[in-house]
Amino acid sequence: MSSSTYVQLVDLAKHFGKVRALDGLSLDIAQGELVALLGPSGCGKTTALRALAGLQELDRGQLIVDGKDVTFQNANKRGMGMVFQAYSLFPHMTARENVEYGLKLKAHKTASDKRKARSAELLELVGLSTHANHYPHQLSGGQQQRVALARALAISPKVLLLDEPLSALDAKVRTQLREEIRRIQLELGTTTLFVTHDQEEALSIADRVGVMRNGQLEQIAAPAELYDRPKTSFVAEFVGLTNPISGKVSGGSIEVLGSIVKTLPGSVTTGTGIALVRPESIDVVASKSGNATVFAASFLGASCRLTINMNDGTHVTAQLPSSEAAGIGAGSTVAVSLLDMPVFVKAAG
């Protein structure tokens, strides 16, 4: 345990019948850090979050928050603020009353005027001060989740737990709100655990992202490191796009698309392997004597995605800055090679 570790999940295990939702999950979170747990459905990320909230009993393991063992503490005594995927505002209370609810229940009841001041401050923080007297049915989905966030923050939680809070919202509101969540989290310095299946969401706001699979943590790292230096083929393939390209591995390098690039730790070390190449790692240059033909080009704004048919019959997807893709379109003959960036190589077959 490092000196700054604030939350520790130690060897958590939980079975639902024959399904292993958590299978020895361990995770440390530093104070003020935002950690995102990312993974496919059923990987155990929500179970881990619910266990930390006290809403899910564990078969095995230990939960330590701020140096105290909270494994067997009731959810209502843990002081965790939680925002749920489903809209969870109390429908018979206004936005302000929802935010004040947790303060009313605190052991040393917060005085009424302090409560009002705190709820006003938090509604201001989430940009809903003009909606304080609105009932949940009078608010949009995004506004409801903002109030839910203010309600969770009102009790000054030890840890803020976000269980896919943006999943039910439309794309534009989702992007806007996730940026607001990050801004507020940084402003208040609240230690936060964020669960999502949306990798863009996780990579864009977390200090560290943990990728989960079958109840275990595959890898936890800063977003850029996770993307550029995956430790397993699952992480490489789950986070971002990859082109599986076969090549010969030897001496810590692999030869693919006529280029020799270094392999990442954990890769296959000898023989034939499948390199998991990021679309951005592929260099494409217009050339009449090239080794490939562009099948389709998609303009994405700042970048351009090309679907390329190699002369040997394989296909790759490349992504390059729009400025570099000028003049390349469907039917163009191009020369394809790899940029000098290490790749993860998994066993063939």
Binding site for another protein (CB under 8 A): 53-55, 74-82, 84, 86, 88, 90-92, 101-102, 105-106, 135-138, 148, 151-152, 155, 161
The least distance separating another protein from the CB of residue 137, rounded to whole angstroms, comes to 4
The least distance separating another protein from the CB of residue 116, rounded to whole angstroms, comes to 17
Determine the Cα–Cα distance for residues 171 and 11; give it in Å rounded to an integer. 36
Tell me, what amino acid is at 338? L
Contact between residue 150 and residue 123 where contact means Cβ atoms under 8 Å apart:
yes
Residue 12 or residue 155: which is nearer to another protein going by CB?
155
Q: What is the per-residue burial (b if ≥16 Cβ within 10 Å, else e) of 63-90? A: bbbeeeebbeeeeeebbbbbbbbebbbe
Residue 35 or residue 83: which is nearer to another protein going by CB?
83
The least distance separating another protein from the CB of residue 325, rounded to whole angstroms, comes to 46
Determine the Cα–Cα distance for residues 155 and 133; give it in Å rounded to an integer. 20
Q: For residue 97, how many C-alpha atoms fall within 13 Å in the half-sphere facing its CB?
A: 10
Residue from 283, 279, 273, 267 nearest 338 by CA: 283
The least distance separating another protein from the CB of residue 88, rounded to whole angstroms, comes to 4
DSSP string, 291-332: SEEEEEEEE-SSEEEEEEEETTS-EEEEEEETTTTTT--TT-
Residue 53 or residue 334: which is nearer to another protein going by CB?
53
Residue 161 or residue 268: which is nearer to another protein going by CB?
161
Residue 54 or residue 240: which is nearer to another protein going by CB?
54
The least distance separating another protein from the CB of residue 8, rounded to whole angstroms, comes to 20
Residue 83 or residue 320: which is nearer to another protein going by CB?
83
Q: Which two tokens mark 276? A: 């998991």
Residue from 310, 319, 312 nearest 292 by CA: 310
Determine the Cα–Cα distance for residues 219 and 231; give it in Å rounded to an integer. 7
Q: Which two tokens mark 328? A: 């390349």
The least distance separating another protein from the CB of residue 75, rounded to whole angstroms, comes to 4
The least distance separating another protein from the CB of residue 51, rounded to whole angstroms, comes to 13
Q: Which two tokens mark 176? A: 């806007």
The least distance separating another protein from the CB of residue 202, rounded to whole angstroms, comes to 22
Residue 159 or residue 274: which is nearer to another protein going by CB?
159
Q: Which two tokens mark 245? A: 């390209």
Residue 133 or residue 311: which is nearer to another protein going by CB?
133
